[in-house]
Amino acid sequence: MYGSSQIPCLGPNRLFHLVLIMHTEPNSLPPPNDSKMWRPKRGVSIWSERLVKYLFASFALISVVTTIGIVGTLIFETFEFFREIPFFRFLTDTQWTPLFSDQFGIFVLISATFMTSLIALLVALPIGLLAAICLSEYASPKMRKWLKPALEILAGIPTVVYGYFALLFVTPLLQSIVPGLKIFNSLSAGLVMGFAIMPLVASLSEDAIYAVPQSLRQGSYALGTTKRETVTGVVLPAALSGIVASCVLAISRAVGETMIVTVAAGASPVLTLDPRVSVQTMTSFIVQATFGDNPVGTIGYKTLFAVGMTLFLITFVLNIFSFWFVRRFQEKYE
């Protein structure tokens, strides 16, 4: 195009010339002092960019440090705990009275957590999934526009409010139906917790169901199926990974839920699967123990972390399973 030593001097259209120069060989540029070209001070911008990049990278590292902090503190204090209390007794004691006498049967707390979570999931999974199907497949766009925010409100209500509702509204109501129901019980705590985590299931499952391409539905209809058959036979299996992920997240929420069970399920550690009596879950033990006075280094303090570690391990295993399941079964559509 242009001769190797000849570059036209800069006219009004500077950008055009810059582009031209970029296309020529480096040694074909005119000597710097001759040039009146636009030369921004790039040093500052490059340095500030580098600074920002490393600053933000260190911010991102904070989340890693948080994880290390959680795992580290839990492991450290749990290790201290097991130096005093043998692991065997932690698993086999049938009572849990760490704060006054020497009984450390974690299964007492686990049975309560299991009971409240089970009841909650029996409510949250079917209702959440059906509501998700309703929102995605049956509700008109206008209805959907109203229903989704309503579910989001339900999800945004603080759990201590649900606790109040369970203790002072649901329990008296249930007491007239269920004989022998105590004031504190896992039944009403579980039921209300189910409604507290239901929106999570509904919203995440709805996302997954909504993402199934329309062509799959149409293909199914073309085979002569009805709408229900399409939904249960084609759409739900196609959205399976997302639905299972939402269910697993709901399980971890139920296991880690604190305020509803603390307020409504009571604080009596007993090894039972009777939903009508007062129990103590892992989370409500932690609240009870921190509300009392347990200075650093006492066995009460270490017990907190042993229970916290158990809680963390359960949710961690669930999370790993969820990751694995989604990776293994996720359907990809173009």
Partner 1 sequence: MTLSSNPRDLSDLQGDANSQFKPNLRSRYRLDRAFELLTWLATLISLIVLVTLLFDVIGDGAGSLNWDFLTSPPSRRAARAGLWPALVGTVWLLGITAVVAFPIGVGSGIFLEEFAPDNWFTRLIEINVGNLAAVPSIVYGLLGLTVFVDILRPITGGTSVLAGGLTLALLILPIIIVSTREALRAVPSSLRQGGFALGATRWQVIRDLVFAQSLPGILTGTILALSRAIGETAPILVVGAAGYIAFTPPLSLEGLQSDFTALPIQIYVWISRAKKDFEPIAAGGIVVLLVVLLLMNTSAILLRNKFQNKKL
Residues of this chain, 95-154, that bind partner 1 according to CB under 8 A: 126-128, 130-131, 133-135, 137-139, 147, 150-151, 153-154
Query: Closest CB to partner 1 among 52 and 273?
Result: 52
State the nearest-atom distance from the C-beta of 72 to partner 1, in Å: 9
* Site track 29-58 with partner 1 (rule: CB under 8 A), x = hit: -----------x-x--xx-xx--xx-xxx-
Regarding 311 and contact with partner 1 (CB under 8 A), the answer is yes
- Cβ proximity to partner 1: between 29 and 94 the closer is 29
- Closer CB to partner 1, residue 98 or residue 128? 128
Tally of CB atoms within 10 A around 253: 20
Q: Compare residues 66 and 97 and give the one whose CB is closer to partner 1.
A: 66
Q: CB within 8 A of 319, min separation 6: which ones?
A: 248, 252
List phi, psi (to 5°) of 313. Answer: -60, -45
| Total chain residues near partner 1 (CB under 8 A) | 95
Return the C-alpha torsion angle 125, 131, 136, 142, nearest 10.
Answer: -160
Please compute, for residue 169, the number of CA atoms within 13 A of its CA located in the half-sphere on the CB side. Answer: 9
Residue whose structure tokens are 């570059």? 7
What Å distances lie between residue 257 and 116, 254, 263, 282, 315, CA to CA?
Answer: 10, 5, 11, 10, 11
3-state secondary structure of 208: helix
Applying CB under 8 A, among 120, 121, 259, 265 the residue interacting with partner 1 is 259
| Nearest approach, Cβ of residue 12 and partner 1 (Å) | 18
Region near partner 1 per CB under 8 A, out of 6-14, 79-87, 90-98, 192-200:
192-200
Binding mask 205-224 for partner 1 (x = CB under 8 A): ---------------x---x
Work out the number of other CB atoms within 10 angstroms of the CB of residue 265.
Answer: 32
116 vs 194: CA distance, rounded Å: 9
Of 291 and 333, nearer to partner 1 (C-beta) is 291
Judged by beta carbon, residue 110 or residue 286, the one nearer partner 1 is 286
Query: Rounded to the nearest 10 degrees, how much is the dihedral formed by the CA atoms of 178, 179, 183, 188?
Result: -20
Q: Least distance to partner 1 from the beta carbon of 170, Å?
A: 9
